[in-house]
Chains A and B, each alone.
Chain A
């Protein structure tokens, strides 16, 4: 009986040691993961800045009055944007 108890205590102790070491190691690796991978990702892919919807809506309204479809406006403004950014980079 006593031997058996001692045996169980030793097992419980090993389990405690292994368990705590593992929990700390696992969550420690997770910290490293957050500090490296996630931190890099957040810099590379920042959340898009939310543009208020009212302005583009108004614009598209006025352009439809002028008989230009929103798709064309989008294409043109996209091209202008790209030109400007390339132009800016050249400078």
Chain B
């Protein structure tokens, strides 16, 4: 009889706590979004599974000695995984459209207003009972507005590790929702005429420009914002491997095998942070809400900046491409292209929107560096 009781006590059924069950359902929800709705499946699938694993009673996945514990501390606590992913993203990024039309960097800068405005929102939420965000927490939440998964995870792991799970879920969910969140804002802020604007064809960009560009960006970051060099440095390394043309094997590895392997572990590690005590509270709701606000403000400020530039510049600029300044490569650029095509079926904005899109990646890395420098220490 004793052994029967012992056996019963070692089952999951006897040990489940309510919070664990709820968090497993959240994990199932993420799996559903990934598999059935195709929402950022590369990350949400391992993340959802990690959430299920970490909430298994007795197994102790996230305690010392458990697999997820080590994955988290080896890769995310140290910041290694998001940085490796950023290198892969650099190896996948073509800066051609940006170099051909450098003005679009301003759109990438304007869209970062979403990040800094959300800082206010996060602090204002402290009026809500049950929520207490420090300036560090607020900065980590605000970076969701950068629409850049690895940057958000990197910054959150440095500034507010206890909020990492909720921040990562919010960042990736909203990135998947870009095609739903952005178009209404874009249409509301532009006129039919503006959406029809056709832009001048981009000039061809030479190889030497593409090689020197990442080196120049790196030097500038070294001089002006060393706190952003982990992100920008890895990004530039990946990009240089791509553009130099002499290490195709490394470039291919960085943008395929390496980023894929790292994504599996990153997803699992982030999932391990989805425990009941860390996730089931009012703060998570606040973070999810603020994420949506950050995205919307970023989109709006990008579009408004593009409108202003269109009025001032001699070459026409379609305001829709401003929305791509929030990064979320290449989804945001595709959205700009799609909304543009609705107004003018012969107007292909994709290449033009890639400029602000990759500028947004740089912009959010710079914003992350600023937040690290000013709030981090």
Contacts and interface: CB of A to CB of B under 8 A. Distances in A.
Nearest to B362: A27
A24 B127 CA distance: 31
A42 B212 CA distance: 10
B182 to A, nearest CB: 20
Contacts, number: 111
B205 interface: yes
Contacts of A12: 119-120, 122-123, 135, 138
Contacts of B138: 12
A88 interface: no
Interface string A32-67: 011101100110011100000000000000000000
Contact of A5 (B123, B206, B212): B123
Nearest to A41: B208
A12 B371 CA distance: 11
B363 interface: yes
A19 B109 contact: no
B220 A33 contact: yes
A38 B99 contact: yes
B289 interface: no
B27 interface: no
Contacts of A38: 99, 209, 212-213, 216
Contact of A26 (B98, B123, B224): B224
26 contacts: A5-B126, A5-B127, A9-B123, A15-B116, A16-B117, A16-B119, A20-B116, A26-B366, A27-B105, A27-B106, A27-B109, A27-B366, A29-B224, A30-B102, A30-B105, A30-B216, A30-B217, A30-B362, A31-B105, A34-B102, A34-B213, A35-B102, A38-B213, A38-B216, A41-B209, A42-B208
Closest 6 CB pairs of A and B: A16-B116, A34-B102, A27-B105, A42-B206, A38-B209, A27-B109
Interface of B: 98-99, 102-103, 105-106, 108-110, 112-113, 115-117, 119-120, 122-124, 126-127, 135, 138-139, 204-209, 212-213, 216-217, 220, 224-225, 359, 362-363, 366-367, 370-371, 374-375
